[in-house]
Amino acid sequence: MNPENYIILSGLLFTIGALGVLIRRNAIVVFMSVELMLNAANLAFVSFARINGDLDGQVVAFFVMIVAAAEVVVGLAIIVTIFRTRRSASIDEPNLLKY
Amino acid sequence: MTQIGTGEAIVFWVCAVLSVTGALGLILSRRTVHSALWLALTMISLAVLYIANAAPFLGMVQIIVYTGAVMMLFLFVLMVVGVDSADSLVETLRGQRVAAILLAVGFGVLLTAGLGSALSGTMARGLDEANAQFGGNVEGIARLLFADYIIAFEIVAALLITAALGALVLTHRERIRPRVTQADLSRQRVASGAPGPKPTPGVYARHNAVDTPALLPDGTLAEDSVPAPLRARGDLRPIDTGAVEETRILAEGSPAVGPDVTPIADDPGSSPGEPR
């Protein structure tokens, strides 16, 4: 087995996450799909760190995790706020700016 | 340096299958809670893959931060938003789902084929050298984090604080009327004239159905013992005079109440207004 399998798995997971963002309507599921894409990118970072024999990739993956945690906190707060005013977690609902 | 060993190959294939299954479950589950649990499966298998990939520190952080904190936050918000808020199947843009699937398949094929051909035959240089430089994986990451990446580290710390404050501000609700304390509530209850609980239906009556009003000690009906909707529909069961008589006899200290003392028809199924 070659280390490229890790990268291919990462690409597969990223694709599935992107598909989830495109086809799901529930804001929380869309958000979880974004998390999946971030995790797939992290797997690529970690694998490339090993392929290149360099710890920088792992440090960058660590930063991605921190930024993802901050993003989850703010994003979920926004979802809760929208849910309070609209009584819905669907991403098709907040369309007032359209009109 | 070397190819990946057989043991790691087994770990990889098991965890790869698990993580892809979890990812597909995430986007295919109808219920949001199931999606969250599938994503937790994916994250745990990714943590195993990190550890297999010579990143034990990141694997542990993945388990603690992602499956421990982030997924629990997701589940918490799911409970706030409502567990059974199922997805609507109405497509706002016509044909969007088919187009998205086609796009994803094309993107996936391009990405994996491109990466596969670009990286085929790559040897992993391995992290043994980089780890040995500072005496271990955690030490190496610490060295990079607090020396080379110190500016980024500080900025990220500021970002985390800002995010926490932002969440507080976003979910904060201004109180528009004064808080009702327990003292206020008890004062209200006493002022309403009935500080105790209302009588429950059927307590002093022959039946224990909710439409049977309780009887007060003087034999009259306690109307507020019956739920308001039933009262509004006039579905009160009339006073069971036989029961009142029985109660009176019991209260006077009669040793036993039998059919020979006061003949009372046992009517468990009689409906209100039915002639007895």
Residues A6, A46: Cα–Cα separation, whole Å? 9
List the single residue in B70, B112, B137 with the smallest CB-CB distance to A69: B70
| Residues A77, B61: C-beta atoms closer than 8 Å | no
**pLDDT of A44 higher than 90:** yes
The predicted structure's pLDDT at residue B257: 52
Chain B residues near residue A54 by CB distance under 8 angstroms: 127, 130
- Element housing B215 (H / E): strand B214-215
Residues B156, A59: Cα–Cα separation, whole Å? 12
List the single residue in B27, B77, B81 with the smallest CB-CB distance to A24: B27
Render pLDDT for B124-134 as a digit per residue (tens, 0 to 9): 788 888 888 88
> pTM value?
0.73
Buried b (16+ CB within 10 A) or exposed e, A73-97: bbbbbbbbbbbeeeebbbbeeeeee
Residues A17, B20: Cα–Cα separation, whole Å? 10
What are the beta bridge partners of residue B124?
B2
Residue in A29, A81, A84 to test binding to B, most B beta-carbons within 10 Å: A29
Most confident of A42-46, B27-31, B80-84, B132-136: A42-46
Residues A14, B115: Cα–Cα separation, whole Å? 13
Phi, psi torsion values for B107, nearest 5 degrees? -60, -45
Chain B residue with the nearest C-alpha to that of A69: B70
Q: Is B31 on the interface with A (CB under 8 A)?
A: no
Render pLDDT for A66-86 as a digit per residue (tens, 0 to 9): 999 999 999 999 888 888 887
The predicted structure's pLDDT at residue B261: 47
Query: Number of helices (H) and strands (E), helices first, in chain A?
Result: 3, 0
Render pLDDT for B10-25 as a digit per residue (tens, 0 to 9): 999 999 999 999 999 9
Please state, for a pLDDT cut of 70, what percent of chain B lies above it: 83
Residues A59, A50: Cα–Cα separation, whole Å? 12
The predicted structure's pLDDT at residue B263: 47
Q: Is B150 on the interface with A (CB under 8 A)?
A: no
Q: Is B49 on the interface with A (CB under 8 A)?
A: yes
| Residues B167, A73: C-beta atoms closer than 8 Å | yes
The predicted structure's pLDDT at residue B84: 62
**pLDDT of B267 higher than 60:** no
Q: Measured between CA atoms, how close is A97 to chain B, in angstroms?
A: 16
The residue that leads in pLDDT, B220 or B98, is: B98
Residues A44, B97: Cα–Cα separation, whole Å? 28
Chain B residues near residue A18 by CB distance under 8 angstroms: 104, 107
List chain B domain ranges: 1-85, 125-173, 197-276
Least confident of B15-19, B69-73, B126-130, B254-258: B254-258
Render pLDDT for B83-109 as a digit per residue (tens, 0 to 9): 665 666 666 778 888 999 999 999 999
- Fold that domain B1-85 belongs to in CATH: Four Helix Bundle (Hemerythrin (Met), subunit A) (1.20.120)
